[in-house]
Structure 1
Amino acid sequence: MNLDKAKKRIAKHVKKGFKGYPSISLEYFGSSVECATEVLVTFTLEEGATAQEERFTSQTDARESEVIQSALVKIIERTQAVSVDEVAGVSVK
């Protein structure tokens, strides 16, 4: 899947807002607000359940990595997430 298509599909899910569970939260981290070198994906099956986390790292900006963005789309699809939340911007570590 190409980068633009993956980013649009993720944005479409995020735009829907919270619709219930299962839900996925995406948060980008980096050494500066310009470059996100890590993505934290948090999956919650139901309210009150323990969240599962997975991290993806990149030498370059993870938001511009076709491999990482495509993997995020696949995770959303395979978990059948009803809600997808994305923390705005890049959190500096």
Structure 2
Amino acid sequence: MNLDKSKKRIAKKVKMGFQGYPQIAIEYFGTNPNCANEVSIKFTLEEGAPVQEERFSSKDDVRENEVIQSAIVKMIERSEAKTVLQTAGVTQSQ
């Protein structure tokens, strides 16, 4: 899947806000605000259920990695997530 198309599909789901469960939360991590080297995708089946987490990392910015962005879209589709949340910006990693 094309990088721009993946980013748009993720952004569209995020823009919809909370729609119920299942829910996916996306958070980017990096050593500086301009480059995210890691992404965390957390899946919650229902309220109070244990959270399942998947992480992807790259030497370059994961937000510009077509394979990783396509994988996130596939995770959203396959889990039939009603809600997709995304933390703004890049969280500083230690």
TM-score tier after normalising by the smaller chain length: over 0.9
CA-atom RMSD in angstroms: 0.3
Letter in 2 for 1:39: V
Alignment of 1:1-93 (within 5 A): 1-93=1-93
| TM-score where L is the length of structure 2 | 0.98
Distance in structure 2 (CA, Å) of the matches to 1:43 and 1:76: 9
Distance in structure 1 (CA, Å) of the matches to 2:56 and 2:6: 16
Q: Number of paired residues?
A: 93
Please state how far the C-alpha of 1:9 moved relative to its aligned partner. Answer: 0.2
Q: Secondary structure at the match of 2:77?
A: helix
Percent identity (aligned): 63
